[in-house]
Each structure stands twice: as structure tokens, then as C-alpha cells.
Structure 1
Amino acid sequence: MTLTLAPSFAAQSRTQQPYVLIVDDHISSLKRMSQIIERAGHACETAESASQAVAICDRRRPQVVVTDLAMPNLDGCGLASWLGARYPSIPLLLMTGQMLDARELVDLRRRFTAVFPKPVDVDWFLECLDRLMPAHGFSSRP
């Protein structure tokens, strides 16, 4: 008789744990946002392009997607359109360093749950993210 052990709890919880997907073609911004999100107690994955983000979403659906607006090939709005058609319940947070006029901002707020100018106000960002992510048993924030 051969016994098969179930995967460890850590392995199971990592694959099933809700996570934030961060998409930005600027590696330094990607790393900074990843550190901020992980320090706040949330799991995250990163993508350096919208096409890489699409592949990640096809493997495992994120709880929240945080994306930059200006990226080569498929930009943040294009990614939002793809996600909205395929996974309409995923909240989308937009980060942008672009100067936006009032009309552009209104249009973006229709597509995205929140729009954050760069540099991102970390407290405001984490407050928004905490509302969108399920409770995670602990918090590194006071």
C-alpha cells in the first residue's frame, strides 16, 4: 500500500491565497509597489507588461490588479478592457505619472476602481487596497 501525502499547508495556501497583480514596465516602480503591498500583508505577483499580466491572469485570477497607464504595446486601458471582458469582477487600480485633464480623469474613473497619480500616496493606496482584499488574519499596519 502506498500512501500519498497531500501538499503542505504552506504550498496549498500560497496557490490559493488571494493576491494583487501589479503591472508596470518600470522595474523600480514595480519593485517599490510590490514591497509596499507585501509589507501591508498582502501576497502579490508582478508583471512587466500587460501581455505578461494576461498570461498570469489566465493561470490564476488575481483579487485586485494594479496597473500603470502608459506601457508599450498594450497600455493600462487596453489591459482594463481585456480584464473587463474576461474577469469583470476584478477591481482595477490605475497608477499614472501623466498629467490628466478633467475629462480624461472622468473617463478613467469609469474604467478603474481608483486612479492614483505617481508618486502614489501610499496611505491612500493601502486604504483602498485593504478595502478590496479579503481579511488576511493579521495586519502589519497600525
Structure 2
Amino acid sequence: MTKILVIDDDSRDRELLATVLEERGYEVILADSGGTGLMLCHRRDPDAVVLDLHMPGIDGHHLLRQLQTLHPSLPVVVFSGCGPGEVEQDVLNHGATAFIQKAFSLDQFGLALQEVLPAPSKRDS
């Protein structure tokens, strides 16, 4: 099954994203901080990461750079309350696969996921 790691310090956003991803057939791994997300990325080997930018401790900008260094082919979708523009261009320049504003609709999120993440796959029984 295709595994997506969601890293966000906001529990409501994490749960919302998990619900949307699970309904689309993905296995979801949740992390509430950048440090936990980095550890889970090493241990669980996700197929893609959905990453919030603004978190205490290791923020999304720093984590994105680490992920691109350690796992350069790993798709990373960054989402943030910041509007598109300079922030969006910065994360795309540093290896993010896509940028989504947090004020997204579930349809927008689903369409963006289809474009950048691996299709869900089922494990062999």
C-alpha cells in the first residue's frame, strides 16, 4: 500500500489530511513535529510526504532541506497558511514537489495529490 507521511503540529489538520488520504486508498503515517517526522521517514520509508511549513522546533523549511538531502527522489507536498508567491517559490526551489495553501478545499487537495503522489497500491496478500 502506498504510504504517505503527514507532518503537521496542528492535530485538526493532521486528522483532516489523514481522512482524505485514507479515503483515497493511502496508508497514512502521522507525525506531530519535524523531529518525529524525520524519524518516521527513516523508519517507515514513506512513498511521499505532506509537510506543514510552520512548526515549532524543526520547521518545514529546514525539514524539507533535510528530506531532499537524505531522500532526493521522495515527493514532498508542502502546505502552509502563507499565500502563494515568494514562500511557494522558495519551497519549490528547495525540492518540494508541490505547494498547497492551507485554505484549500478537499477537492483541490485531492486533485493536487493525484498530480504529484504515487497512486495508491495494495499489498500483495
Q: Structure 1 CA distance, aligned partners of 2:83 and 2:110? A: 22
Aligned residues: 120
Detail structure 1 runs of 4+ shifted over 6 Å in the superposition: none
Q: Which amino acid aligns with 1:90?
A: L
- Using the aligned pairs only, state the percent identity: 28
Q: Which amino acid aligns with 2:33?
A: S
Native 8 Å contact 1:95 1:120 kept in 2: no
Q: Structure 2 CA distance, aligned partners of 1:120 and 1:70? A: 16
Deviation (angstroms), 1:67:
0.7
Partner of 1:107: 90
Q: Which amino acid aligns with 1:69?
A: L
Higher relative contact order (CA 8 A, sep 6+): 2
Runs of at least 5 residues in structure 2 that lack an aligned partner in the other structure: none
For residues 94-122 of structure 1, what are the alpha-carbon distances to aligned partners after superposition, in whole Å with 9 as ceiling and x for unaligned?
Answer: 1111245x333221222311111112232
TM-score normalised per structure 1 = 0.77
Partner of 1:133: 118
Runs of at least 5 residues in structure 1 that lack an aligned partner in the other structure: 1-16, 138-142
Q: Structure 2 CA distance, aligned partners of 1:127 and 1:81? A: 25
Native 8 Å contact 2:6 2:50 kept in 1: yes
TM-score normalised per structure 2 = 0.87
SS in structure 2 of the partner of residue 70 of structure 1: coil
Q: Structure 2 CA distance, aligned partners of 1:27 and 1:127? A: 23
Aligned pair in 2 of structure 1 residues 106, 136: CA closer, same or farther (>3 Å)?
same
Matches within 5 A, 1:1-142: 17-99=1-83, 102-111=85-94, 112-131=96-115, 132-136=117-121
